[in-house]
Amino acid sequence: MAISTALTPRAVFRLALRQTEGLIASIIALLGLDLAVPDHSTISRRAETLEVPRPRHGREPVHLLVDSTRLKLCGPGEWLVVKHGSRTRRGWRKLHLATNANTGRIVASALTDKDTDDGSQVGPLLDQVGGPVASVTGDGAYDRDDVYAGVAARYPAAGVIVPASSTCRRRGDEADRTAAD
């Protein structure tokens, strides 16, 4: 039972054996129990024969967080630039990611050239998602009509959540202002 209990957080948090041993020791100490903690070699031997239930991903709709980041490509000649100080054009790519907001797991990705805009990659990212989607959240780069239409076409019940820009005004603010003048 102690080994099974130790292997469960190891599977959930993807810990190494020594980390698992330390986590279990910390938990036992926090609980104020006087129990022996199985060492990492014992956990390793027993893990080979003991089956631990893995966390399963449900089929409930996911809340996606979408964004992109630039990646610098370092080719084989990069060390020459450092050594000799010559200037070259750097190679950049963009990595577009869709992450499950509840689990933090990446559920879709796309690698494009540096000139590809973020909003154009929502469709290809949604094509990779295996289950239903509850919402898609992104920054201002995703506040476009084609993003809203693409999400609605694939997942009609899903919402698109984009924060309002700093120059955005609520409906009626202009009418309220002119009525006050």
Name the residue ranges covered by the structural domains of the chain.
Answer: 2-49, 62-161
Q: What is the pTM of this model?
A: 0.57
Task: Report residue 101 as tokens.
Answer: 């907001």
Q: Which residue has 């190679």 as its token pair?
A: 91
Backbone angles phi, psi at 178, to 5 degrees: -70, -30
SS3 157: coil
Residue 167 burial (CB < 10 Å; 0-12/13-18/19+)? exposed
To which H or E segment does residue 161 belong?
strand 159-161
CA 93/CA 180 separation, integer angstroms: 51
Over its length of 181 residues, how does the chain's per-residue pLDDT go in tens digits?
778 778 877 877 778 888 888 888 888 888 888 888 888 888 888 888 877 655 555 578 899 999 998 877 665 555 666 666 665 556 778 889 999 988 888 899 998 988 899 999 999 999 999 889 999 999 988 988 999 999 999 999 999 998 877 777 766 655 555 555 5
Backbone angles phi, psi at 172, to 5 degrees: 95, -15
Q: What is the pLDDT of residue 125?
A: 94
Beta-ladder partners of 100: 64
At 6 the pLDDT is 80
Predicted confidence at residue 155, as pLDDT, reads 93
- Its CATH class, for the domain covering 62-161, is alpha beta
With residue 179 as reference, give the H or E element that holds it: helix 173-180
Q: Could you tell me where the beta strands, DSSP code E, fall in 38-142?
A: 62-73, 91-100, 106-113, 133-137
